[in-house]
């Protein structure tokens, strides 16, 4: 029997998240999460949690990096719920690696000046500024400078580096799995990306993987080979590793259209117009390669 009071609180939570950052700030979301007796929900609770994960994913795809700060506490409170249920743990693996984005967004929120007030513009219509690519690169280097590798990296990195070499991709990109999944091959995003390198179903199938009845994206070696192959294909199209990573994260069509619309040729020229997650993803990958391999992304061939 589903507890109606708990269900009402949960529905308030999902509505608040659906309303965006303002709604999220108007309700003490961690307190709501803590107040729910999850045991009464059974399968219903799982469907609702997945819905909130999708809403968090949609927030990551928003226009402004600083907006991500508003859902930081929600995500932190949701993570133990995901990790406590075996069938939700893949979503937990996805979410854990994205908490960094929300923490950095909070740091940027207090350092980026607010938009300049103009008498003719109502405050409600002012839009926040996005950090410059250089600001992002600097903050991510600082964020990761003391961070040890995920424990699973010790197992996967030696196994997977030869695969990247065989596919003609710099072996340093094996560390993309740290950013994508925390080296957890079970990781699953709310929109269906799966595995160490978070491959979407259509992308995986285009790279020769089966997703049904057996999902080969869950196989670490197959996932890595497909990811390496995809990186090589994107690099051949864009000729620049930053643009390649942006396309890997946001989609090559989106990046191509933005380059054409802006008359641009580099990542830095379009970075602030990419989805918030992508704005942070590319410099985070750069900082990760620098931290783990001591190599700058721009030095890779």
As a residue count, the chain comes to 301
Instruction: Report H helices in 112-197.
Output: 133-144, 153-166, 176-181
Determine the average pLDDT of the residues in 205-224: 97
Among 249, 276, 284, CA closest to 21: 276
Q: Is the pLDDT at 206 greater than 90, yes or no?
A: yes
The pLDDT of residue 23: 41
- Which pLDDT tens digit goes with each residue over 92-107? 999 999 999 999 999 9
DSSP alpha helix (H) spans, 194-251: 201-206, 220-238, 241-250
Catalytic one of 136, 172, 178, 180: 180
CA distance 280 to 271: 9
For residues 48 and 263, is the Cβ–Cβ distance under 8 A?
no
Residue 51: predicted pLDDT: 84
Same domain membership, residue 278 and residue 138 = yes
- Give the range among 49-58, 187-196, 215-224, 283-292 with minimum mean pLDDT: 49-58
Give the Cα separation of 207 and 230 in Å (integer): 7
Residue 152 confidence class, pLDDT cut points 50, 70, 90: very high
Confidence of residue 113 (pLDDT cuts 50, 70, 90): low
Please give the tally of structural domains in the chain: 2
Q: Do 107 and 144 belong to one domain?
A: no
Residues 218 and 74 grouped into a single domain: no
Q: Please indicate, yes or no, whether residues 189 and 257 belong to a single structural domain of this protein.
A: yes
- Whether residue 140 sits in one domain with residue 120: no
pLDDT of 73 reads 86
**Closest by CA position to 270, among listed 290, 293, 247:** 247
Better-scored residue on pLDDT, 82 or 295: 295
Same domain? 27 vs 98: yes
Same domain, 153 and 282: yes
99 and 119, same domain (yes or no): yes
The conformation of residue 170, written as its DSSP 8-state character, comes to -
198 or 15: which carries more pLDDT confidence?
Answer: 198
Q: Pick from 96, 125, 154: which residue ends a domain?
A: 125
Task: For residues 122 and 83, give the distance between their C-alpha atoms in angstroms, rounded to a whole number.
Answer: 43
Q: Can 293 be counted among the known catalytic residues? A: no
Same domain, 119 and 141: no
Q: What is the pLDDT of residues 171-184, one digit of tens each?
A: 999 999 999 999 99
pLDDT at 42: 46
What is the pTM (predicted TM-score) of this model?
Answer: 0.85
Q: Is the pLDDT of residue 30 over 70?
A: no
Q: Is the same domain home to 140 and 287?
A: yes
Closest CA to 17 of 58, 66, 76: 58
Verify that 140 and 101 share a domain, yes or no.
no
DSSP-assigned letter for residue 123 = G
Domain boundary among 87, 107, 125: 125
Q: Reply yes or no on whether the pLDDT at 119 is more than 70.
A: no
CATH code, domain carrying 238: 1.10.530.10
User: Which domain-ending residue is among 72, 91, 125?
Assistant: 125
Q: Evaluate whether 126 touches 115 at the Cβ level (below 8 Å).
A: yes
Same domain, 233 and 251: yes
- Higher-pLDDT residue of 28, 195: 195
The model's pLDDT over 238-270, given as tens digits with 9 standing for 90+, comes to: 999 999 999 999 999 999 999 999 999 999 999
Domain ranges, residue 187? 133-299
Contact between 102 and 280 (Cβ < 8 Å):
no
């Amino acid at each position: 029997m589903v507890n109606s009071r708990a269900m009402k609180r949960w529905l308030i939570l999902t509505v608040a998240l659906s309303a965006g950052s303002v709604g999220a700030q108007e309700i003490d979301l961690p307190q709501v999460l803590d107040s729910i007796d999850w045991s009464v929900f059974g399968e219903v609770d799982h469907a609702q949690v997945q819905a909130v994960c999708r809403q968090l994913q949609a927030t990551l795809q928003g226009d402004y990096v600083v907006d991500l700060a508003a859902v930081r506490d929600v995500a932190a409170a949701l993570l133990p719920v995901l990790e406590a249920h075996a069938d939700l743990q893949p979503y937990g693996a996805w979410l854990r690696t994205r908490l960094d984005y929300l923490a950095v967004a909070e740091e940027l929120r207090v350092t980026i000046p607010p938009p300049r007030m103009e008498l003719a513009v109502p405050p409600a219509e002012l839009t926040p500024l996005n950090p410059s690519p250089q600001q992002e690169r600097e903050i991510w280097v600082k964020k990761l400078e003391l961070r040890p590798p995920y424990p699973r990296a010790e197992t996967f990195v030696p196994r997977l580096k030869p695969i990247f070499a065989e596919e003609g991709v710099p072996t340093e990109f094996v560390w993309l799995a740290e950013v994508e999944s925390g080296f957890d091959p079970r990781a699953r995003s709310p929109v269906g990306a799966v595995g160490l390198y978070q491959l979407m179903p259509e992308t995986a199938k285009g790279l020769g993987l089966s997703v049904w009845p057996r999902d080969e994206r869950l196989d670490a070696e197959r996932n890595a080979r497909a990811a390496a192959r995809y990186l090589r294909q994107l690099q051949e199209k864009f000729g620049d590793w930053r643009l390649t990573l942006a396309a890997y994260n946001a989609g090559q069509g989106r990046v191509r259209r933005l380059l054409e619309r802006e008359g641009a040729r580099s990542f830095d020229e379009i970075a602030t117009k990419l989805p918030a997650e992508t704005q942070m993803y590319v410099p985070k990958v750069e900082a990760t390669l620098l931290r783990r391999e001591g190599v700058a992304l721009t030095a890779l061939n």
